Amino acid sequence: MFHYIDLGPMDQIPRYIKNKLDPEHAEYTHPALEPILNVTYGCMVYQEQVMQIVRDLAGYSLGRADLVRRAMGKKKLDVMAKEREYFINGQIDENGNIVIPGCVRNGINEADANKIFDEMAEFAKYAFNKSHAAAYAVVSYRTAYLKAYYPVEFMAATLNSFLGNLDKVPVYIDECRKLGIEILKPSINKSYTKFAVYGNQIRFGLGSIKNVGTNAVEAIVKERKENGDYTSFTDFCERIQSETVNKKCIESLIKAGAFDEFGQTRSTLMASFEGILDTINNSAKRSMAGQVTMFDLQVEEEKLDDIKYNFVEMAEYKDKELLSMEKEMVGIYISGHPLSKLRNEIETKTNINTMQMLEMQEENNLQKDGQMVKYAGIVTSVKKKYTKNNTIMAFVTIEDLYGACEIIVFDSCYNKSSGLLMQDNIVLVEGRLSIREDDDIKIVANSIRELKSEKSETRKSLKINITELDDERKNKLRGALKFFAGDKNNIQLIIIAENTEKPAGGIYLTDAIYTELEEIVGSENIKLE
């Protein structure tokens, strides 16, 4: 099942690689394109090439060519429809003067002109000018190098770049897990303000915790540096007597798991911390007033926490509650995710996630408005409302592995699914995208049903038979498969040799990539099941 991602020039990657390896056999829709596209092996890569094509093939002026580039880049469909006609057949003013000659007048047949315009429109979905593309290439190379050779440091720096906006943090934490990098809970003795590297692990920063400000973190770290690690929860409370580290701050630290290393359950600390802080504050007041008893002196000398402080021992919260606390305090799940066990089911049964919706929003991609999608996640909130017609509807927030999306549920759908619309239920939504400028993307639900684990369900598989391939085609296939390796679209790659099937990981697959693979191995040797 393919996801809704506009790749633009990226769809041309297989063709680019093929033509680069064999430039003499690069194919052009029309010979007139060769002088423009030969430097990029027959593929449109830069916006300047689009401008050159409309000038050389259809006779556009430089200014008019830039208007076409802009219309394509901003996906102005009405403008592009007019420009297609001008590009193919030209434009004549009211006096019969030729304003734009058009491709047909310049000897290019209408079918080829249409195909070229389609290629330009597809390219323009996500395209840059040459200088911008070159700068991006340099940045991409450098970041790829850092990610390859310093993955832990690179991912920590990436996470820190989003500290002020946690929307994308779940995406990068998920990437860390794919790279085998463990994300550790905040620690009162090991964490600093930001994400920090510990060997092959990344430790969550205290500054990311709700109600724990920068001043509080600085006070905690300063005391730790000057007088050593905190040895217990009560040791921390005794040593940190600052207005910046108040009860609300300590409660948030407990919920986020910052004190887990001391061996007491979070439920015990939650039930005990206020009494412990009050005991410390009262003791400090008596000391200042000179009201120190023989018993106080004895306790101070012996440092017996069980005498001084009354811990209310409690059984630990259930995993679901612990995850919920972490989500409340840092905006994301740290120890795990309620949907982790259903990852395969979700990726198999859906065709969109919040990460992709965020990309659409950043690109202001209004073309996808109304597109049918399948989205799955856990219900986090439900707000019911009566309409003017006295029918009930709901605004439901559903969170997947990468973030949250608001689902609009009108009365017809609500009446069928209201029993499922309860907090912590995991559901599958089928509906249409609602995309508006300057607003988050939403989904208008047509149907909502419960999502259950179906372990017997299998992924789609791409089977490639290499038995009859020569060494040249095998090398080409090996390069293509290596480049598009991954499990993004849930496609399991299976290689067949001498009647033996062998799983070979996952592969990212689009129609264009399938066609390229088919050209390499032959249609009789490739099959998507």
- Domain annotation covers residue 505: yes
Q: What is the pLDDT of residue 308?
A: 56
- Domain annotation covers residue 133: no
Same domain for 358 and 309: no
Same domain for 224 and 310: yes
Q: What is the pLDDT of residue 302?
A: 44
**Strand pairing partners for 203?**
184, 196
Same domain for 385 and 465: no
- Domain annotation covers residue 51: yes
Which of 450, 479, 501 is where one domain is finished? 450
Same domain for 348 and 231: no
Same domain for 164 and 200: yes
Same domain for 477 and 429: no
Q: How many domains does the chain have?
A: 4
Report d(CA 8, CA 16) in Å as an integer. Answer: 13
CB 43 within 8 A of CB 20: no
- Domain annotation covers residue 111: yes
DSSP string, 228-242: ----SHHHHHHH---
CB 255 within 8 A of CB 317: no
Report d(CA 324, CA 371) in Å as an integer. Answer: 33
- Domain annotation covers residue 49: yes
- Domain annotation covers residue 136: no
Antiparallel, parallel or unpaired: β 442-450 and 491-497: unpaired
Q: Is 383 exposed, middle or buried (0-12, 13-18, 19+ CB in 10 A)?
A: exposed
Q: What is the pLDDT of residue 267?
A: 93
What residue numbers bound the domain in which 376 lies?
340-450
Which of 330, 365, 389 is where one domain is finished? 330
Q: What is the pLDDT of residue 280?
A: 84
Which of 300, 330, 360 is where one domain is finished? 330
Same domain for 265 and 188: yes
Task: Report which residue type is found at 382.
Answer: V
Q: What is the pLDDT of residue 323?
A: 86
Same domain for 179 and 115: no
- Domain annotation covers residue 138: no
| DSSP, res 212 | -
Same domain for 103 and 28: yes
Same domain for 396 and 516: no
232 is written with which tokens? Answer: 């217990």
pTM above 0.85, yes or no: no
Q: pLDDT 10s digit of each residue in the chain, 529 long?
A: 333 334 557 778 888 888 999 988 888 889 999 999 999 999 888 889 999 999 999 999 999 998 888 887 776 767 888 888 999 999 998 888 999 999 999 999 999 999 999 888 878 767 788 999 899 889 999 999 999 999 999 999 999 988 766 667 878 888 888 888 998 999 999 999 999 999 899 999 998 888 898 899 999 999 999 999 999 999 999 898 777 888 999 999 999 999 999 999 999 999 999 888 888 887 766 665 555 554 454 444 444 444 456 788 888 888 888 888 888 888 788 877 888 888 888 888 898 998 888 878 776 666 678 889 999 999 988 999 988 888 899 999 999 988 889 999 999 999 888 888 888 889 999 999 998 877 889 999 999 999 876 544 455 788 889 888 888 888 888 877 877 766 444 578 888 888 788 888 777 777 677 888 888 888 888 888 7
Report d(CA 134, CA 48) in Å as an integer. Answer: 13
- CATH number of the domain where residue 363 is located: 2.40.50.140
Same domain for 354 and 434: yes
